Amino acid sequence: MLLYRSAAWFAKGLREYTKSGYESASKDFVPDDLEVQVPGRAFMVTGGNSGIGKATAMEIAKRGGTVHLVCRDHSRAEGAKAEIIRESGNQNIFLHIVDLSLPKSVWKFVENFKQEHTLNVLINNAGCMVNKRELTEDGLEKNFATNTLGVYVLTTALIPVLEKEHDPRVITVSSGGMLVQKLNTDDPQSERTAFDGTMVYAQNKRQQVVLTERWARAHPAIHFSCMHPGWVDTPGHHPDGPHINLCAGRVCAPRSPPESSIWVRVRSAICGPQVTGPRLGFSEAADWASVSRGRAGEGPEPTDTRPPRVV
């Protein structure tokens, strides 16, 4: 079944997650949707020092939003902050150095953050794909600690902060790779199975979508979304695994006009909830209702082309 899922998903990816997929999906983009200004709204972008995280932060900064960059590497983060300020002319860019793989550090960061700042939108962008099993100082498998537990602790801790503001939103960058994995609640840290970094990453992305569904049910005042940015060649890592090297020339750069992989993210973050689109495909952002209909714990088979509600 895994082989079938992987093959069907890869075929789907070649059709929908590449440059050609972007070109097809972009026919439904409405450029005027992004012609807005958002002064007075605060956005947190994890992993905002490179790739599509930085591109997203840049677009928000250009529209006047206050941006909080949550990054692990201080020197790279300082460089990204300086570049965003220089290009956007926006001085309201704040830097926070946090290792998302350390739950206690994440919680402490939020406790300090909420004493000084407000927040309208959280964008869970940061992630990692470690191909050899590695434990954090807390004894947690690093992919799970960063991609799942870190996202859970950060989002859960920030929910009370978000609920105080107008039109709060949480956008989590998942991956179409989740379609090759059913939710595995028996071995979340890959302790009893052969370790495969790509499949562990896919499982983490499945876990993120399930968490999003649960948060949305429990906190209806906040608009929760998950999205897949397509196959994007970024400096940090290749999010869908080694196969991306086989698709050289087909993948998208972090910014492909009109900002292909950040269009839905920025649109979902700064505008109304509805983003039109023909399918759950390139730059997809499914609300929790779509996730629910798609069986969040198992997900639709990769060949399932029923059009869910896209927001």
The catalytic residue positions are 201
Contacts of 262 (CB under 8 A, 6+ apart): 52, 55, 56, 59, 229, 255
DSSP-derived letter for residue 298 is T
Q: Would you state the structure tokens that stand for residue 194, as one six-digit string? A: 């052969």
3-state secondary structure of 227: strand
Largest CA distance in the chain: 52
Give the 3-state DSSP-derived string for 165-212, with helices as H, strands as E and coil as C.
Answer: CCCCEEEEECCHHHHHCCCCCCCCCCCCCCCCHHHHHHHHHHHHHHHH
**DSSP letter string, 47-89:** TTTSHHHHHHHHHHHHTT-EEEEEES-HHHHHHHHHHHHHHH-
Nearest to 285 by CA among 161, 155, 124, 172: 172
